[in-house]
Structure 1
């Protein structure tokens, strides 16, 4: 039976397990949106295409599958550009579909065309693959090539364009094939490499697991936990790998910010790195904390992209393939010979627990406005055990990764690109991916929150179990700190502040959400609990001390070492 091109697009995506689409309906795509809803898809229309892209990226992180976002021709695609760039830097496999006018328009010499720009040349640098469907019978091959590029090697975004005269044409095609029919799926490592890695792990006295962003976006927590149990070693988080794997919470330490992590790295004689590019936040695996004992340390890297091996540092045993396939190989190889726990492991666990307890005890209290460290402590103490944590903001995030008392199993933030304003769209996308059941907490600064504040309406419309805790200092707090360090106290901080009359709790109420205003630490937790209990999206406006927010960011000297080429 002949089907329309737009129906075939849905079939091809469904074969990949995709059932969610974000975007503002383009005239080219209204038939696709309508049919997707009929087929039981989640169809979410936010208020800005960039938000749609961020929401789709969150879905890919929470499912381990590609995600889909649509942009209308011209201005819609212009609005998608920041989301494309984020997906590229964050290694997120998002398929961006773009509408376009009929090709005859592109070939005109005439000037003054409405809502038109040649889109692909502008977008190609921000994606792994860009293509246009010029003929209906190209639909399968180009969409599959896009999915192949998005998921092969280092994951990333692709852009596929549909001129308006193509998407309503008819096709006579067979049922959509599964992904394994047209791209590499579940690539394992060679038996010789697995055997060598297992031999080295057994022989190591103080091995560590370095766990990155890719472990969580591939949803590989369970096999990684089994591997960590067999290795009986500490788990070191990269800045992108800050989700905690169930069962490993007590022996998972953040690289650079936990003395236990630093000591474990310095003493280690083997590092097994999983789901990480070994980038600047871990000093490429060869600088700063890695320098000590470097000559005695063996490196094993699980990496999907063979071209990444040896780029940032030499690797002794590269295991090239899908970590979802390779980690079970290592588990099987080590299964009959688990290691004896590293002798210092219990001490590191106690040391890190004591560190968190001391931070909770010593975070400045009794201030009004609230000290941002105390905000983090009080908010994360009441973080729901099964919740999803979303972070956004500059200074607020720096306080967050130091003072958090929660160990969430899912954490989302824009850690590689550092794009502010992603928090609220990430929260929406993550909740849609999880069936809108698990509670979410967004901890953000006021600057970041206002980027896409209109998506409060989207969250309210979808009735998401989301509470947004907003640290409000009426300023670009991190940038104020940069001015002070650059020009000294009392310097003019150009362009960093705005009206102190802004009440984000009242803005939230205008969107139909639950609003709370807080200016004392003891009121933070009760306000958050009331927000969850309200049954509506909640916004808790917490007035924080602007001086502390700009001058007392914890571990800031460590954070600055991420910029390896001295950009700060």
Structure 2
């Protein structure tokens, strides 16, 4: 076989089932090797979309997919989606084509940049393959690193002349990362800290979901009667109406949950990554101690005071603490009960139309009402993301995916393609803004070509609403941030999609129920005037 075939055989050996990418001259032999392998290849219309697809594929399966591109501009186009996987801890394998090895040390050569160095800041591991003898070792190491805590992206650059070189080597399996057990001394220290606490609060992050420890987390909280909030990426650990559920932290304004956070004497951070929420917002600038429970030791920061660090298998650690704490129950806290009540009122209260646009809370109440338990919701990035995090409840973990590490715009449509293609859900619904949707609109063709079925719910406000709100909060004014949109009907039709325009909530509910087969773009006007602020007194006028 040639080296490209050896590389692909190694990916097969590691259980990689899908590759997303764009062809180029320098990855011709890689693509030919993929074509004759068991790995399904999804040709995308842009490399960024390919990387986003691989990122969402990994979030849903827990296993890495491959994304690939050619050298130069193909590789640079991958960067945003690769960084998304890295910062959101989704395992991903990236292979880029590269010029011939003889060109690599030249000062200037057509389309040639140092891809190993380019990908280093946004991956856990980046190497340029230079000889056939190192392929097996570097690939196995990359696959192991991609999946070990905390998972992320790894990158290999394959020069064109090496890809086509013959080799007699055979692929070798990559060892599966071992799961560590927390040290007994750390568990004892955590138990002591817990028993001394009077007003603890659990902040559960995506590490809980990745570890498949959501049930253990829920049992720990309910058994001890400790209130629990999640980050955006850990929705679904408790039911929406659970009396201990404080829903999501991380809004860019003073929210109901902050009234509880300000009274806590211990933060129990489980599977939490400060990349989602600034630690200072949870610890009063470092004054409140933290019990850290995660796969890896905590990152030490001045405003993240680690009083006890339990590093190891999260589910095992939670089960051990639950057993040791049995019978130790914290009393009811009226501040927690009041917060739960306020959140429930905010989620359930109709707001009415404003400025010829629908209120985000009203839209999401209709969306939640129509959600089946096996429906997957994928949020894009923008003001709508903050509203989805606040108002839309998940029945289970991973039912709602909200990218929140890199938080790059453009993920909604490619992510929905990856999710629909996997076929693990009864229906897939992508929620995105008009600014984000146009960033990867070309891959509407990919969805149609693959014969997929999902819905895109597009919130139209004709501008970069989140930036407008933040500029106004900072300076009292905003720069020009408005833009025009295409004729959505004509756009959808040109790609072979259905289009439905809705102007009121009844029409939205009907559209979400009726258009569940094929590809559907639902557009609606939205008014973000009350977004990014604490809920106020109920409005009198209701549409």
**Global fold match (TM > 0.5):** yes
Question: Given the superposition, is the C-alpha separation of residues 315 and 16 from structure 1 closer, same or farther in structure 2, using an over 3 Å criterion?
Answer: farther
Q: Give the CA RMSD over aligned residues.
A: 3.3
Farther-moved stretch of structure 1 (161-170 vs 222-231)? 222-231
Write the mapping of 1:433-452 to structure 2, written as runs, cut at 5 A: 434-452=422-440
Match of 1:525 among 495, 501, 509: 509
Contact 2:206 2:271 in 1 (8 A): yes
Question: What SS does the aligned partner of 1:451 have?
Answer: helix
| SS of match in other structure, 2:161 | coil
Q: Is the 8 A contact 2:283 2:303 kept in 1?
A: no
Paired residues, number: 530
Contact 1:89 1:417 in 2 (8 A): yes
- After TM superposition, the structure 1 stretch with the greater mean CA deviation from structure 2, 256-265 or 307-316, is 256-265
Is 1:220 aligned with 2:213?
yes
Give deviations 1:227-271, integer Å, cap 9, x for gaps.
334444222112343x21266862332226697744543444443
3-state secondary structure, aligned to 1:317? strand
How far residue 187 of structure 1 moved from its aligned partner, in angstroms, is 1.6
Give unmatched runs, 5+ long, in structure 2. Answer: 536-543
Equivalents in 2 of 1:171, 1:218: separation in Å?
Answer: 39
Mapped to 2, the partners of 1:145 and 1:368 lie a distance apart of 55
Task: Flag the 1:442–1:280 CA change in 2: closer, same or farther, 3 A.
Answer: closer
Aligned to 2:519: 537
Query: What is the DSSP-based 3-state SS (H/G/I as helix, E as strand, rest coil) of the residue aligned with 1:454?
Result: helix
Distance change >3 Å, CA 122–CA 41, structure 1 → 2: closer
DSSP 3-state at the match of 1:272? strand
Sort the Cα spacing of 1:399 and 1:96 in 2 relative to 1 into closer, same or farther, 3 A.
Answer: same
Aligned to 1:25: 23
* 2:409 aligns with one of 394, 399, 420: 420
Q: Deviations over 1:286-339 (max 9, x none)?
A: 544x87xx5xx6532124444724564221221223xxx242143045336524
| Cross-structure match for 1:380 | 368
The structure-2 alpha-carbon separation of the partners of 1:231 and 1:20, relative to structure 1 and needing over 3 Å to count, comes to farther
Give the CA deviation at 1:5: 2.6
SS in 2 for 1:540: strand
SS for the counterpart of 2:94 is strand
CA distance, structure 2, for counterparts of residue 336 and residue 319 of structure 1: 15
Out of 184, 199, 204, which is 1:191 matched to? Answer: 184
Q: 1:16 to 1:247 in 2, by over 3 A?
A: farther
Q: What SS does the aligned partner of 1:369 have?
A: coil
2:530 aligned with 1:552 = yes
Please give the per-residue CA displacement for 1:482-520, whole angstroms capped at 9, x wherever unaligned. Answer: 55556657x7x42x22336x2324322321122101122
| Maintained 8 Å contact 2:213/2:314 | no
Indicate which of 249, 274, 277 corresponds to 2:273. 277
Report matched runs for 1:155-174 at 5 Å: 155-173=151-169
**Cα offset, 1:363, TM superposition:** 1.9
Q: Is the 8 A contact 2:452 2:518 kept in 1?
A: yes
- Asked if the contact 2:93/2:143 (under 8 Å) is kept, the reply is yes
Q: For 1:355 and 1:45, locate their aligned partners in 2 and report how far apart those are by CA, in whole Å.
A: 44
Corresponding residue for residue 130 of structure 1: 126
- TM-score normalized by the length of structure 2: 0.86
Superposition map of 1:96-135 within 5 A: 96-107=94-105, 113-135=109-131
Q: How far, CA to CA, are the matches of 2:447 and 2:341 in structure 1?
A: 35
Alpha carbons of 1:196 and 1:121: their partners in 2 closer, same or farther (altered >3 Å)? closer
Residue 245 of structure 1: aligned partner: 237
SS of aligned partner of 1:388? strand
Distance 2:273 2:259 in 1: 22
Counterpart selection for 1:469 from 454, 457, 461: 457
SS of 2:515 mapped into structure 1: helix
1:356-389 CA-to-partner distances (Å, cap 9, x unmatched) read 3444323224863323332233233222322222
Post-superposition CA distance 1:206-228 (Å, at most 9, x none): 43321112222444323333433
- The CA distance in 1 between the partners of 2:196 and 2:14, in whole Å, is 41
Kept in 2, the 8 Å contact 1:303–1:320? The answer is: yes
Q: 1:53 to 1:106 in 2, by over 3 A?
A: same
Distance 1:302 1:15, change over 3 A: farther
What is the CA distance between 1:190 and its match in structure 2?
A: 1.1
1:140 has 2:122 as partner: no
Q: Which residue of 2 aligns with 1:319?
A: 310
The Cα shift of 1:138 comes to 0.4
Q: Which residue of 1 aligns with 2:202?
A: 209
The 2-side partners of 1:14 and 1:232 are apart by 46
Partner SS for 1:209: strand
| Per-residue deviation, 1:202 | 5.1
Q: Partner of 1:566 in structure 2? A: none
Is the counterpart of residue 510 in structure 1 residue 494 in structure 2? yes
Matched with 1:563 is none
Partners of 1:270 and 1:476 in 2: how far apart? Answer: 38
TM-score scaled to structure 1, two decimals?
0.83
Secondary structure of the residue that 1:362 maps to in structure 2?
coil
Question: Which residue matches 1:499?
Answer: 484
Q: In structure 2, what is the Cα distance between the partners aligned to 1:408 and 1:454? A: 32
Q: Are residues 71 and 209 of structure 1, via their aligned partners in 2, closer, same or farther at CA, if it must alter by over 3 Å?
A: same
Instruction: Give the C-alpha shift of residue 69 in structure 1.
Output: 1.1
SS in 2 for 1:316: strand
Moved more, 117-126 or 95-104: 117-126
Q: Judging changes above 3 Å, is the alpha-carbon distance between structure 1 residues 487 and 153 closer, same or farther for their aligned structure 2 residues?
A: closer
> Which is worse superposed, 62-71 or 136-145?
62-71
Q: Whole-Å Cα distance in 1 between the matches of residues 325 and 207 of structure 2?
A: 27
Shift of 1:35: 4.7
